[in-house]
Amino acid sequence: MRLQKFLAEAGLASRRASEQIILDGRVSINGTVVTELGVRVDPVHDEVAVDGTTIKPKRKLYLALNKPKGYICSRQDPSRRRCIHDLLPKEWRNLFTVGRLDFDSEGLIFLTNDGEFSLRLTHPRFGIPKKYLVGVAGRVEPVMLAPILRGVRHEGQRLKAGKARLLKANNSHSLVELELTEGKNREVRRLFETQGLTVDWLRRLQIGPIRLGELPSGRWRVLSHVEVKSLLSPTTHGKPPCHSEAD
């Protein structure tokens, strides 16, 4: 398989981060430093090292966690805010998050040591849908959702919801269900900002076919083999996957 895929599957980093590690000259195969992308490696017979340390494939882990509000998705924070890795068993704190939820958001997030899995769920070209429940200050009128569905410009980026449904609205508070297929930074909040609306709270309910369900806040569970397979299935994604990185 390609070297960057091997590193990702070994849990070193995501595939894109692994590519940069290769380009930085930190990787060797059988003692020879490699700096070109696309080099292939035999996981059984070749010895791959990063910064002189041999890399071995790891058992792949896939967790679903109900992130509470007031936690960050990084492993550590200079401001000493709470990290979601603090919610995991100590031996699993090397897992990385699949995408992010910001400090004030809550709900479903995956953690893994499988870089390929992370790429398939986060890269825009795969278009995996993510469903959110959004509490908005003030009254949301149905007409306000139309631009969000058509697509809007904000800070030089085009933002767009795949689906938007107004569940409840009064003069003080509204409830909207939103579905996105991309993962731009703070995309849900920014979409509503373009309509002069402020998001009070935000909860991610679903990623692909996997629902948050009754998982309590701050708790995690291991995804089953069937669930992982369903997330990687082409039918889960909004558009067909690119095969340029195939084995």
Show which residues are catalytic.
102
Q: HSE (CB half, 13 Å, CA atoms) of 81?
A: 15
| Integer CA distances (angstroms), 45 to 37, 55, 246, in order | 20, 13, 20
H or E stretch covering 33: strand 32-34
Query: Token pair for residue 158?
Result: 């085009």
Each as own residue / partner, the long-range contacts of residues 82-86 (CB below 8 Å, 24 or more positions apart, any chain) are 84/109, 84/111
Query: Token pair for residue 47?
Result: 């010895």
Query: Token pair for residue 216?
Result: 């309590």
